[in-house]
Structure formats: C-alpha cells, structure tokens
Amino acid sequence: MEKVEVKIIREEGVILPKYMTPGAAGMDVYAYIDKPITLNSLERRLIPTGITMEIPFGYEVQVRPRSGLAIKYGITLVNSPGTIDSDYRGKIGIILINLSLDKYTINPMERIGQLVLQKVYKMEFNETDELEKSERSTGGFGHTGK
C-alpha cells in the first residue's frame, strides 16, 4: 500500500489520528475537548480535534462518520463526507449531528470521525451540444424500483 506524507501539528495532549486495524481505510480522529459535550436530539456542533495539517497538493482528506456511532447512537456528520482541501491550514473540526431521539454525550478524546486521504482529479469541461446515449439515459432517483 502506497504511503503519502501529511504534515501535522497537534496541540498538547492530542492523540494523533490512527488506523485501528491493518486494513482500515480511515484514521480515527479524536475530540479535543476539556469537558464532555452533550448533543440533544437533532443538535449539531463543531467538535475540535486539536490538529492542523498540510495535505500535499493533488490530495484531499475526507472526513467521514464512524459507523459504530452512527448505528448505535445516531451520531453522524452533517456534511458527509466533509472535505479538507490541500491549501487549508486551519484547525480541523468535525461537524457532528445527533439524529437519534436521545441525548448523546461526547467525552474528551473520544473517537468522533475518520480521516481518509484521497487523490483529487481536476475536471476539465468540454462543452458540447450532445451527450453519448446510455442505457440509463435520464432515469433518476428510484428509476430501477424500490
């Protein structure tokens, strides 16, 4: 598996994001908070991670929800996947939302999301008057049935 170096600065006491298993695509990232934060039903909050990164040009870091938090507690990301661009140098925050009916408490250094490095390809448009036909054509949402 190819490795790409990403420079990172972490605030004091921050746990570096890490892969939890050898086959994991995403690195778990942690809540950098000094006291628990409770999310009410349908509440969303920006949760700090205590890290900043220098992502190489031509890449992005996608921020994705943790499946365990989603299925067990209804905790996910508002903008999923979120994108951290290669030219962004600010602090990384995770926008969590509670989609359950119950309150959920985020504890300091709890794993709150995943970071996935992705290659970025730039689009170049070629304006035309006609597109190649396909079997699907203009069939949209639900066009193949339930």
User: Residue range 10-25: average pLDDT?
Assistant: 96
DSSP class per residue in the chain = ------EEEE-TTPPPPB-SSTT-SSEEEE---SS-EEEPTT-EEEEE-SEEEEPPTTEEEEEE--HHHHHHH-EEESSSSEEE-TT--S--EEEEEE-SSS-EEEPTT-EEEEEEEEE---------S-----SSTT--TTTT--
The pLDDT tens digits for 35-94 are 999 999 999 999 999 999 999 999 999 999 999 999 999 999 999 899 999 999 999 999
For residue range 95-114, what is the model confidence (pLDDT) as tens digits? 999 999 999 999 999 999 99
Whether the predicted pLDDT of 130 surpasses 90? yes
Residue 144 has pLDDT above 90, yes or no: no
Q: Which CATH architecture has domain 26-119?
A: Distorted Sandwich (2.70)
Q: What is the pTM of this model?
A: 0.88
